[in-house]
Structure 1
Amino acid sequence: MKTIVIIPARGGSKRIPEKNIQLFGGLPLLVHSIQYALANGEIIDTVYVSTDDESIKSIALANGANVIDRPAHISGDLEPTKTALKHALETIEDEVENVILLQPTNPLRPQNLLKEAFEVYHKGNYDSLFTVTRNHQKLGKIIENKFQPFNYSIGQRSQDLEPLFFENGLLYITKASLILKDIIISENAFPFEVNHIFANVDIDTTEDLEYAEYLIKKMSRLRST
């Protein structure tokens, strides 16, 4: 029974044209997730890219990934990620036990994240795991032109807030059997906490891409000093 990575990377993108192959850190955006997966060969048996785009397909193959041709009818803007994952599993002939989802829009991940997360997933016998990050902001709602605090009381210090977390998208690990039932995060999924600056990088706009470029250059300078 295998553990595989699936990277869903469709061709259409409205905010950043050809987003998944835009150059980032000198490489197409997609390639960062492929390289991250390949660097974890002790965990991962095979890396797949699911795409409907010939340019993405060529780049994926040239960088060591296998490609699953995704049909156009499940490649639209509103199509959920689980559809691509399910199609990939139904296409692959191998017996798959675990699926690791890496999104190309999260190109920066802590080096040991996958190793640490998979160990927790395996030892805890969880059926799914996803990464989360603590939010330190004071949040509220605006109702009838009035602000209503959600996670704090007016005047409360930020350090005293009740902990809230957001799904950061860095990685997901799920049993293949769940994905075939259209589930990525189960009710019993383990929330793996990642408090790292990379958890705030999710590329959807040009500004996101520019911020990520700033971070990767900064990290490169720090490593060289």
Structure 2
Amino acid sequence: MNPIGSAYRTRHERGATLATHRHSAPYAALVLDGDYTEASLDGPLPCRPGTLVLHPAFHAHGDRFGGLGASAINIELAPGAFELAASAWEVHDLREVAEVFERCPQRLSELLACARPQAAPELPDWQGELLRGMAESEHEIAVLARGLGVSAEHASRALSRSYGMSPRALRREARWRHALQLLGGALPLAEVAAAAGFADQSHLHRIVVAHAGCTPARLRRQIKYVQDRRLAIAA
């Protein structure tokens, strides 16, 4: 887990919102004060003082800030630092960790070794079932929702509150993550597109360019480079 830049602070005012967005590089964010909820395909992450959030590259998320707003210290990390999902941790001593973040960000791995995973909020079982159904099938979202005993309107409102995106956007995000995972293997790009649920290779191309800023072939080379480096370091 190697930082590639200096730590920098961000501040958001009370009641502010950040629409769903993504960063091209993985990064870590340490919450200093206030509170906010980060919503993504991984569900809602309540963030409070002492929460350390790890974001993988190209992770899409939005933020809703509470009555006090919030400030955080952020560190950009080397590509390939994390998995596809974001995770949240509770640090042991906010003051000490904040000082290390700003002065010695290369010690991030040590900080994580002393942190504990933050428990995720409980959500109704049907929401997780619906997300899996949307990712794995071509059925209309309304049909999947009704099969779980939920109206399409209620499903749309509930998923938007929990995950920060509409059901259709969540389906696209799940397929993008699947494609990102498959690009680390040897499947031809046309087969990656089909396996991830895209209409065709051109559809995959458009999504990758929109989310990663490069073609699928170039992104695959970048992933391969990171994989080879990790193997060399492990050896």
Same fold (TM over 0.5): no
Greater helix share, structure number: 2
TM-score (normalised: structure 1): 0.23
TM-score (normalised: structure 2): 0.23
